[in-house]
């Protein structure tokens, strides 16, 4: 039997719940050496190489000074953000615009009108309401802590390292020829940045507070609107000051503490400066939505806490060691993997789902996209950090009432999860996002991964109702046609070049419906409940994937898939039907194999996104093409660029794109640990002797 056929056989005969991993037996990996050889090292001002420290709930990005001294210079690179999960703001709404004014009725052939929250072309209140609710609320940049009055030309002899093993940025440089040393860290349990500074120059540090821009994709810093907001020192003593920043109806607080410096003074309406009195001194800044006292940890305690947290993170999770590989690309793949692990832990592991640019700068106004949560966070459960996934999933509980109201207003049962939103769960109006449905099964998939991580029945107890409500909507959304098939229609699929009014049966969504409804039934069995007969009927009669000329189509209604340049650009979502998901009866392996070959050879790769390369790689692995999986992950394309700090660069707008990082880690998990029933060691790596890959602590995919 060939390698490819062995993988097919293993996949098609296994039950949904197998929990069997491909094992990689080898000597223990030197985890510290693995991490440290991939620490980013910066020796010149590079606005694409800024470095971050954080804890998932709060993150700070700094320039070569170890602080945020040049926010304007870096604003078009990887910006110097200070962002949190709680820091949001809304502009005034003087017209009293209502969310209901963003709704527009659509007829998708279900015998009723369905209201969707959309953007309007025509001017008027509907347009104004859609624009306001799309922009508001937006995420705040909480403040830039940096050296005051420096020019980049004064900086020389830069030697900066992100020590990922200890969660510390070490920055050494000279200012006008005089040495300066800065050590920067974020407390693992507090929204707090700390710095230890050494310099005979005793450089003044400024905390600058911006007004938000409300921009679609920027650093959220309007430095020219002082009249619209104000910062006040509301309490101070010898080593502590409490500042309040007020913007419209929003206020938050910054608790400053220091050693070896004078009490801060306001040197502008929204700038506080602190001047050192010693050659070595420390400063900490804690950001909070409420006023807090001065009992925060010291800089030294913060450094120790950060080191303990990050050492534990690296010792206890999954790792992959490529050092024995002789393929010249292996070291770059290892670098991307290690840096992605770090970035996702600091940017995407908080109490709300992450935005696509994490806690670095705003994209889509700082809001998060629920179709992307799988890309950000599935990897946590697979790489032994299910605790980080478990920080975020409770957000679904808090948003369940909103999800139920969306389903109800459109005439459906259950919970319909929104696409683009904020901590409140309210939908952001969108001409595309409101019609997406592939975010719907993510909750089921992620909850299943969380359960599988520890075979933990308490996960089922906690998320059972959400899984069932999610599946209830999915079952109600599937329409039975005259042929007795269940179809999906009235949607924009993951390949967003198709229109909702015309699209029927996109392949990824069909396969995802099959997987998620099956999984929801398994959850019923785990709770001792009977399977839902209607769901089993839908599972058995879902439409098979539509094909033409032995190639799967982007939708049953898109016969021109391979002759229309629009449809061979954007996401190759057809490949997600196998790879992200296991094989299903809806898919014929030979047709999927043909489709993969066509996409691999002919797709418009210059029009793809960062997660498309892992999608292709995962499809290749399940189809038995490990060499092409490697090629896909390391394809030399702009949107597959990984910057010196590990961020997945897309274009001038999206200089960070964390779904690409998360997709990479999920693909590598599949390449190493395989899936339930896999009997091939390291199924995603060629067996030509050049890929001697060792790994620990990674779990298989379903």
Q: What is the pLDDT of residues 631-655, one digit of tens each?
A: 999 999 999 999 999 999 999 999 9
Per-residue confidence band for 24, with pLDDT thresholds at 50, 70 and 90: low
Tokens coding 191 = 């929204």
Q: What are phi and psi of 573, to 5 degrees?
A: -65, -20
The predicted-structure confidence for 79-125, as pLDDT tens digits, reads as follows 999 999 999 999 999 999 999 999 999 999 999 999 999 999 999 99
Q: Please give the structure tokens belonging to residue 261.
A: 């410096």
DSSP string, 495-531: STTS-TTT-B--HHHHHHHHHHHHHHHHHHHHTTPPP
Residue 18 pLDDT > 80, yes or no? no
Same domain, 263 and 327: no
Q: Is residue 478 included in any domain, yes or no?
A: no
Which one-letter DSSP state was computed for residue 551? Answer: E
Instruction: Identify the helix (H) or strand (E) that includes residue 84.
Output: strand 82-84
Q: Are residues 254 and 329 in the same domain?
A: no
**pLDDT tens per residue across span 34-85:** 999 999 999 999 999 999 999 999 999 999 999 999 999 999 999 999 999 9
Dump strand ranges (E) for 562-697. Answer: 641-642, 648-649, 694-696
**599: in domain:** no
Residue 367, pLDDT score: 98
Question: What is the arrangement of strands in the sheet containing 250-259, beginning at the earlier edge strand?
Answer: 41-42, 155-163, 168-175, 178-186, 192-198, 280-288, 250-259, 240-247, 229-237
Residues 77/646, Cβ–Cβ less than 8 Å: no
Q: How does residue 293 score in pLDDT terms, banded at 50, 70 and 90?
A: confident
CA 418 – CA 205 distance, rounded (Å): 42
Residue 543 maps to a domain: no
Q: Do 158 and 274 have their domain in common? A: yes
| Domain limit, last residue, from 235, 269, 299 | 299
Distance of CA 270 to the CA centre of its chain: 32
Contact 436, 492 (CB under 8 A): yes
The predicted pLDDT at position 357 comes to 98
Phi, psi of 312, deg, nearest 5? -65, -40
Mean per-residue pLDDT, 377-403: 98
The answer to whether 575 and 619 are in contact (CB under 8 A) is: yes
Q: Is the model's pLDDT at 12 over the cut of 70?
A: no
Average pLDDT of the chain, as a whole number? 95
520 domain residue, yes or no: no
Q: Is residue 114 a contact partner of residue 106, using CB atoms and an 8 Å limit?
A: yes
Cα separation, 61 vs 64, whole angstroms = 10
The reply to whether 32 and 51 lie within a common domain is no
How does residue 26 score in pLDDT terms, banded at 50, 70 and 90?
low
Asked if residue 602 has pLDDT above 70, the reply is: yes
Cα 594 from Cα 586, distance rounded (Å)? 16
**578 within 8 A of 623, measured Cβ to Cβ:** yes
pLDDT of residue 579: 98
What percent of the chain is predicted at pLDDT more than 90? 94
Residue among 138, 135, 132 at smallest CA distance from 93: 132
Q: What is the pLDDT of residues 196-241, one digit of tens each?
A: 999 999 999 999 999 999 999 999 999 999 999 999 999 999 999 9
- Could you tell me if residue 499 is inside a domain? no
| Span 142-197, pLDDT tens digits | 999 999 999 999 999 999 999 999 999 999 999 999 999 999 999 999 999 999 99
- Other beta carbons within 10 angstroms of residue 1's beta carbon come to 8
Q: Give the model's confidence band at 296: pLDDT under 50 very low, under 70 low, under 90 confident, else very high.
A: confident
Classify strands 88-89 and 51-54 as parallel, antiparallel or unpaired. unpaired
Instruction: Indicate if 151 and 286 belong to the same structural domain.
Output: yes
**φ/ψ (deg, to 5) at 286:** -110, 125
- pLDDT tops 50 at residue 363: yes
CB 266 within 8 A of CB 208: no
For the chain, what is the largest distance between any 2 Cα atoms, rounded to a whole number of angstroms? 82
Q: Which has the closest alpha carbon to 136: 353, 361, 356, 365?
A: 365
Give the helix ranges, DSSP H, for 224-329: 299-316
- The tokens for 654 are 């999206």
CA dihedral 399, 83, 188, 352 (to 10 degrees): 10
Considering the domain architecture, whether residues 8 and 61 belong to the same structural domain is answered as no
Instruction: Tell me, yes or no, whether 211 and 327 share the same domain.
Output: no
Rounded distance between C-alpha atoms, residue 355 and residue 97, angstroms: 25
Among 170, 121, 182, 98, smallest CA distance to 146 is for: 182
Predicted confidence at residue 174, as pLDDT, reads 98
Task: Provide the whole-model pTM.
Answer: 0.95
Q: Per this entry, what is the length of the chain?
A: 702
Q: Examine the domain organization and report whether 642 and 658 are in the same domain.
A: yes
Calpha distance 577→512 (Å, rounded): 7
Residues 227 and 342 in one domain: no
> Among residues 265, 299, 333, which one ends one of the domains?
299
Angle, helices 658-673/373-382, rounded to nearest 10 degrees: 40
Look at phi and psi of residue 48 and say left if phi exceeds 0, alpha if psi is from -120 to 50, else beta.
alpha
- Write the CATH number for 275: 2.70.98.50
The answer to whether 668 and 7 are in contact (CB under 8 A) is: no
Q: How far apart are CA 466 and CA 383, in angstroms?
A: 24
Residue whose entry in the numeric block shows the structure tokens 């807090």:
292
> 249 φ, ψ to 5°?
-95, 5
Lookup: tokens for 198: 């050494």
Residue 126 lies in a domain: no
Residue with tokens 């606005």: 47
Contact 106, 130 (CB under 8 A): no
User: In this structure, what DSSP letter does residue 422 have?
Assistant: -
**Domain stops at, among 299, 334, 367:** 299
Residue 702 CA to residue 700 CA, distance in Å, equals 7
60 shares its domain with 203: yes
Residues 376-401 have a mean pLDDT of 98
* Cα–Cα dist 18/485, whole Å: 29
Bond before 601 cis per omega within 30 degrees? no
CB-hemisphere CA count at 13 Å for 166? 12
Looking up tokens 């056989």, which residue turns up? 9
| 257 within a domain of the structure (yes/no) | yes
Q: Where are the alpha helices (DSSP H) in 83-201?
A: 125-135
Q: How many domains does the chain have?
A: 2
Helices (H), 42-91: 71-74
Whether omega for the bond prior to residue 261 falls within 30 degrees of 0, making it cis, is no
Question: How far apart are the C-alpha atoms of 84 and 97, rounded to whole Å?
Answer: 27
- What tokens were used for 258? 């220091």
pLDDT at 4: 46
Q: How many angstroms separate the CA atoms of 68 and 206, rounded?
A: 9
Whether residues 621 and 665 share a domain: the answer is yes
Verify that 9 and 48 share a domain, yes or no: no
C-alpha angle 493-494-499 in degrees, rounded to nearest 5: 35
* Residue 335 domain boundaries: 1-37+317-347+604-702
In a domain, 656, yes or no: yes
DSSP string, 254-284: EEEEEESBPPPEEEETTEEEE-BSSSEEEEE
């Amino acid at each position: 039997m060939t390698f490819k056929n062995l993988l097919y056989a293993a996949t098609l005969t296994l039950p949904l719940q197998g929990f069997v991993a491909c094992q990689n037996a080898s000597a223990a990996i030197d985890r510290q050496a693995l991490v440290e050889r991939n620490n980013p090292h910066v020796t010149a001002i590079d606005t694409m190489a800024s470095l971050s420290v954080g804890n998932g709930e709060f993150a700070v990005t700094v320039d070569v000074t170890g602080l945020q001294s040049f926010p304007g210079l870096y604003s078009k690179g990887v910006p110097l953000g200070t962002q949190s999960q709680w820091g949001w703001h809304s502009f005034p709404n003087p017209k009293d615009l209502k969310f209901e004014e963003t709704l527009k009725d659509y007829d998708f052939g279900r015998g009723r009108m369905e209201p969707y929250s959309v953007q309007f072309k025509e001017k008027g209140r509907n347009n104004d309401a859609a624009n306001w609710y799309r922009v508001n609320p937006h995420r705040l940049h909480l403040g830039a802590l940096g050296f005051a009055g420096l020019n980049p030309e004064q900086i020389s002899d830069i030697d900066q390292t992100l020590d990922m093993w200890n969660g510390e940025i070490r920055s050494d440089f000279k200012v006008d020829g005089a040495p300066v040393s800065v050590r920067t860290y974020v407390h693992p349990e507090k929204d707090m940045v700390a710095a230890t500074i050494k310099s005979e120059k005793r450089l003044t540090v400024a905390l600058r507070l911006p007004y938000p821009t409300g921009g679609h994709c920027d650093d959220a810093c309007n430095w020219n609107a002082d009249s619209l907001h104000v910062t006040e020192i509301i309490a101070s003593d010898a080593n502590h000051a409490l500042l309040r920043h007020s913007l419209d109806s929003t206020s938050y607080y910054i608790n400053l503490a220091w050693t070896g410096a004078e009490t801060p003074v306001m040197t502008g309406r929204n700038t506080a400066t602190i001047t050192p009195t010693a050659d070595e001194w420390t400063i900490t800044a804690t950001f909070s939505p409420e006023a807090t006292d001065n009992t925060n940890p010291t800089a030294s305690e913060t450094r120790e806490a950060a080191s303990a947290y990050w050492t534990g993170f690296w010792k206890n999770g999954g790792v992959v060691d490529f050092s024995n590989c002789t393929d010249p690309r292996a070291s770059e793949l290892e670098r991307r993997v290690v840096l992605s692990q770090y970035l996702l832990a600091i940017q995407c592991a908080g109490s709300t789902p992450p935005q696509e640019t994490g806690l670095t700068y705003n994209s889509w106004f700082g809001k998060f996209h629920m179709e992307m949560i799988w890309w950000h966070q599935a990897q946590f459960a697979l790489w032994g950090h299910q605790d980080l996934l478990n920080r975020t999933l409770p957000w679904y509980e808090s948003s369940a009432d909103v999800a139920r109201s969306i389903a109800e207003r459109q005439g459906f049962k259950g919970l319909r999860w929104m696409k683009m939103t904020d901590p409140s769960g309210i939908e952001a109006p969108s001409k595309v996002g409101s019609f997406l449905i592939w975010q719907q099964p993510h909750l089921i998939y992620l909850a299943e991964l969380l359960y599988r991580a520890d075979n933990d029945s308490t996960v089922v107890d906690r998320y059972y109702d959400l899984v069932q409500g999610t599946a209830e909507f999915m079952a109600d959304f599937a329409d039975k046609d005259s042929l007795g098939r269940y179809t999906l229609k009235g949607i924009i699929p993951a390949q967003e070049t198709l229109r909702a009014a015309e699209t029927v049966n996109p392949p990824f969504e069909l396969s995802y419906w099959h997987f998620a409804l099956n999984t929801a039934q398994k959850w019923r069995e785990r709770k001792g409940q009977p399977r839902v007969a209607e769901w089993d009927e839908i599972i058995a009669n879902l439409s098979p994937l539509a094909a033409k000329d032995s190639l799967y189509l982007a939708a049953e209604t898109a016969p021109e898939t391979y002759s229309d340049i629009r449809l061979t650009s954007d996401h190759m979502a057809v490949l997600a039907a196998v790879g992200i998901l296991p094989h299903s009866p809806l898919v014929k392996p030979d047709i999927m194999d043909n489709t993969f070959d066509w996409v691999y050879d002919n797709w418009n790769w210059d029009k793809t996104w960062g997660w498309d390369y892992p999608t292709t790689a995962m499809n290749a692995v399940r189809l038995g093409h490990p060499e092409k999986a490697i090629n896909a992950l390391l394809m030399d394309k702009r949107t597959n660029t990984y910057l010196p700090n590990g961020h997945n660069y897309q274009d001038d707008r999206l200089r960070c794109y964390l779904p690409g990082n998360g997709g990479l880690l999920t693909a590598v998990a599949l390449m190493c640990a395989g899936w339930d029933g896999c009997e091939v060691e390291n199924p995603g790596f060629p067996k030509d002797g050049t890929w001697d890959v060792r790994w620990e602590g990674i779990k298989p995919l379903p």
